[in-house]
């Protein structure tokens, strides 16, 4: 595979809304005790990984997750990673929302879903994908193709980014599972993205750090290095 930067997508830890079965949306809900423990645990997993950049949704649950996981880091807020704007659905119990006529559309045809006084899901997906691709290009240009960087965001946002990486329609993104405090890894090669890891809640993350490229004398790439972006063998 062509050597490229590696994006780690981190979902925030569990919140009080997650625990109560509510739709938080862009409300300032915070991590509960379980979420705080999850943030600390994922921080232990991330500590050995050299992160070239850390960006985050500006919502407090993401900022709290990073404060606990990576207290030495000053993350950059990125509006493109903010939660979907659920409009009047925000703050309501999911059990109540499941009776709304829009609910089956959200679950089965989300590309057509527009939340009342809120955001279309397709618009959320487009701005989230644009944000991570722009940051990935910037990190690669500034830190080189072996760089690893992290973006902390929300479940639906990460699912939309994963769907784009897999080349599947947004209408299939509800089949993707992204748990609180999970890590998902993507590499954007010149020809196509690769989903390297999905919904990882306990694995060793150091294996996601690309090894330095081998070079011959004079700086040329080592003989036999692949020109394709495909994983071979």
- Report whether 184 belongs to an annotated binding site: no
- Report whether 16 belongs to an annotated binding site: yes
Check if the beta carbon of residue 205 is closer than 8 Å to that of residue 69: no
- Report whether 18 belongs to an annotated binding site: yes
- Report whether 65 belongs to an annotated binding site: no
Q: Find the length of the chain.
A: 233
Look at strands 148-153 and 183-188 and give their pairing: unpaired
On the CB side of 127, how many CA atoms lie within 13 Å of its CA?
Answer: 16
Report the alpha-carbon distance of residue 155 to residue 213 in Å, rounded. Answer: 34
- Report whether 201 belongs to an annotated binding site: no
- Report whether 17 belongs to an annotated binding site: yes
Check if the beta carbon of residue 134 is closer than 8 Å to that of residue 89: no
Report the alpha-carbon distance of residue 9 to residue 46 in Å, rounded. Answer: 12
- Report whether 169 belongs to an annotated binding site: no
Report the alpha-carbon distance of residue 233 to residue 231 in Å, rounded. Answer: 7
Q: Quick one: which of 125, 157, 151, 153 has its CA closest to 138?
A: 151
Please enumerate, by residue number, every residue annotated as part of a binding site for substrate. Answer: 11-18, 61
Please enumerate, by residue number, every residue annotated as part of a binding site. Answer: 11-18, 61
């Amino acid at each position: 595979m062509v050597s490229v930067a590696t994006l780690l997508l981190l979902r925030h830890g569990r919140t009080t809304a997650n625990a109560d079965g509510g739709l938080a949306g862009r409300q300032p809900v915070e991590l509960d005790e379980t979420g705080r423990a999850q943030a600390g645990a994922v921080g232990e997993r991330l500590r050995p990984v050299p992160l070239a950049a850390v960006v985050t949704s500006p919502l407090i649950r993401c900022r709290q997750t990073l404060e606990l996981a990576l207290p030495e880091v000053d993350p950059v807020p990125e509006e493109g990673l903010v939660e979907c704007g659920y409009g009047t659905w925000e703050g309501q119990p999911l059990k109540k929302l499941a009776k709304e006529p829009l609910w089956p559309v959200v679950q089965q045809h989300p590309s057509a879903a527009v939340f009342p006084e809120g955001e279309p899901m397709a618009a959320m997906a487009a701005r989230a994908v644009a944000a991570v691709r722009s940051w990935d290009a910037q990190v690669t240009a500034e830190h080189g193709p072996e760089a690893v960087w992290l973006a902390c965001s929300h479940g639906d946002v990460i699912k939309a980014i994963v769907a784009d990486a897999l080349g599947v329609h947004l209408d299939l993104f509800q089949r993707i599972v992204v748990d609180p405090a999970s890590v998902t890894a993507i590499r954007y090669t010149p020809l196509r993205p690769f989903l390297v890891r999905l919904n990882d809640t306990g694995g060793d993350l150091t294996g996601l750090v690309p090894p330095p490229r081998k070079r011959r004398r004079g700086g040329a790439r080592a003989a036999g290095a692949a020109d394709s972006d495909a994983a071979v063998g």
